[in-house]
Amino acid sequence: MTQNGITADDLLKFSFLQDPQLSPDGNWLVYVKRSINEEKKYQSSLYMMDLQTKEEFPFTKKDDKAVQPRFSPEGHTILFTSNRSGTQQIWKIASNGGEAEQLTYFKNGAADPIWSPDGKQVLCTVPLAENEVLLTEDDSEDDSKEAKPYVTSRLKYKADGEGLLNETHKHLILIDLDSGKGTKLTTGSYDHQQATFSPDGKRIAFVANRSKDPDYELISDIYELTLEDNQFTKLTDSDGVFTYPNYSPDGTTLSLLGHRREYKGATLTRVWTLDRATGNLTCLTGDWDVEANDVAINDMGTGVQGKGAVWSTENDALYVQASEKGYTNLYHVSLNKRIKTIVSGKRQIYAFSLDQQQKTAVIGVSDHETPGDFSLVSMADGKEEKLTYANQEWLQEKVLSVPEEINFEARDGSKLHGWVMKPIGYQEGTKYPLIVEIHGGPHAMYSHAFMHEFQVLAEKGYGVLYINPRGSHGYGQAFVDAVRGDYGGNDYHDIMDAVDYATKTCDWIDKDRLGVTGGSYGGFMTNWIVGHTNRFKAAVTQRSITNWLSFYGVSDIGYFFTEWELKADLIQDPDTLWKHSPLRYVKNVETPLLILHSEKDHRCPIEQGEQFYVALKQQQKPTRLVRFPEANHNLSRSGDPSLRISRLNEMIEWFEQYL
């Protein structure tokens, strides 16, 4: 039926490139290459590249999970995190190769290694209970496996990807490399993270929410710790969400990313500076209506912890990623608030690393035809040289569907933007079914990045339509905030207007064979759509929300997300929650609906899918429920490879049955 496009099983062939790190002299690149082994399990190892010869070679073993590589200040040693000893610990290895040496032996493991400027100390994070001392793996403790009840008095007692929280928090540990001794720097039932050293190595800045009850006060502050006397100073006023502190080269100022929650979770991330002497916070991008962050969606697992806003060596500007109109690029933001594009293009720049002199940068790039590769960039003129071709060899044998951009107006005149993909093997004059894809968030962004799922649908003979409806990032603060309090309103109309536009302008679309799918918020919208129109002949809802009343109490974020997004809460206004619940309209559903849900999803728990399934089944409506064991909310992006393939195959079989 089709040519040689990408299949669901081709997931097993991909290499996923993450976390590029340039050596201080700019001559070497170390990065994480993630792949799927013969047992269909993820493995990750470090790779090194000589940037003079462009020779690439594996640097650590493939049979363990090595991540977070970090060059020492002089470039002779690399720290990384690995589970090769059985628990996640920090390891070190000479940058010219050799055997890796285990650095930490903490009973609870360690992660997030950071070098001190003189290379004599390492900072890391270790999970510890409030009064728990720092123990090594050899320290004996009662490890009884006897079944015990789980007891909590916390409001937030579970988290997606973690399960029931075990009352530990991330604490900062300082390791002296000469003695190997680790010193606990932080205390209390708080998470301390995103730490960074001052240029003189005498202070550490970090992010924490040390409010009276962090479960209720959803803020993050910047703190500074003086190492000589272990004194804490709180640098922000608990009135916002501030993250990723970075010291200026002269040590007087911190750069931050964040906002003051003016629009709750829909507030644009801005670039800030914090004067350490005066405490003054200055927003550098207040007049730039752009999200200063990478929020582009792809299903290639390229996301890693960001760098924040990185200072120029001249102390007068910052380098930062930002997302706009479906692309994420790298920008130069000066202290006098001038913004210049460093590297542009219709793509997602998902990572970047600068050498010590900032003459070159390495960027991680994903576009419609590139799952993820690295390029070397000259900071002087922006010229690029591609460094890796991670998937090129086998992708050359495949036919890809290249998305075409569309721009159109919604019924109220709002400008909308998206893409449409033709099926593989497209022939002029033939009619094809169309699948509408709806992203989650809702405050995220479909982009010019590669999407395996969309290519799989195109290979099966489907066109694919995807847009950024209001609520999405990339189109300014008013647009991203427009969905709040209006779920199922104009966001629904945006999706339907996109279908109208596509079917009018693409004569190859068969109007009688339309399908729709989406996950998380996209699952909510899929449920909403089938309860409000019979236009689609088949639908697949994934990790969805069906009932805001129960979501409020069962989701790890329900108690605040519901109020933020619907502008109503269970206690004061349950009627509004029910009004926006797809379950309320389940009697209207005629569209055959496949329900896909992960059993360990704590973000949109499986009871949400179960409620919709039983309500449909009781009415003898065409439906099917597929449960994915041991999977969480991120199944489609980072879940077990076998389950990811099963998920895609379930979708395809459903659409083939009804379209």
C-alpha 356, offset from chain centre: 27
What is 303-354 written as a DSSP string? ------SEEPTTSSEEEEEEEETTEEEEEEEETTS-EEEEE--SSEEEEEEE
Q: What is the dihedral of CA 206, 103, 80, 53, to 10 degrees?
A: 130
**375 vs 388: CA distance, rounded Å:** 7
Picking from 523, 572, 526, the residue whose alpha carbon sits closest to that of residue 549 is 572
| Structural element, H or E, at residue 224 | strand 221-226
Contact 223, 206 (CB under 8 A): yes
Q: Tell me, yes or no, if 532 is annotated catalytic.
A: no
Handedness of CA 632, 635, 641, 643 (dihedral sign): positive
Other beta carbons within 10 Å of 234: 13
Cα(175)–Cα(195) distance, integer angstroms: 14
Active-site choice (520, 550, 581, 636) = 520
Q: Which of 209-225 are b and which e, b meaning 16 or more Cβ less than 10 Å from the residue's Cβ? A: bbeeebeeebbbbbbbb
Catalytic-residue membership of 520? yes
Q: Looking up tokens 């991540």, which residue turns up?
A: 67
Look up residue 206 and give its amino acid. F
Torsion of CA 456, 460, 461, 465, to 10 degrees: -30
DSSP assignment of 438-472 equals E-SSSS-B--SS--HHHHHHHHTT-EEEEE--TT-
CA-to-CA dists, residue 237 to 116, 242, 246, 286, angstroms: 27, 10, 18, 19
N-terminal to C-terminal alpha carbon distance within the chain: 15
**What's the Cα-to-Cα distance from 394 to each of 12, 14, 32, rounded to whole Å?**
12, 9, 20
Contact 372, 349 (CB under 8 A): no
Whether residue 167 contacts residue 159, with contact meaning beta carbons closer than 8 Å, is answered with no
CA 314-316-317 angle, to 5 degrees, is 105
* 383 Cβ contact list (under 8 Å, min separation 6): 377
DSSP 400: P
Could you count the other beta carbons within 10 Å of the beta carbon of residue 267?
19
Q: Which of 633, 636, 638, 646 is catalytic?
A: 633
The torsion defined by the Cα of 608, 613, 614 and 615, in degrees rounded to 10, comes to 90
DSSP state of 280: -
Q: How many CB atoms lie within 10 A of CB 206?
A: 23
492 closest CA partner among 569, 371, 582: 582
Handedness of CA 208, 211, 214, 217 (dihedral sign): negative
The CA–CA distances, whole Å, from 340 to 319, 328, 382, 447, 564 equal 10, 14, 12, 21, 33
Q: Which residues are catalytic?
A: 520, 633
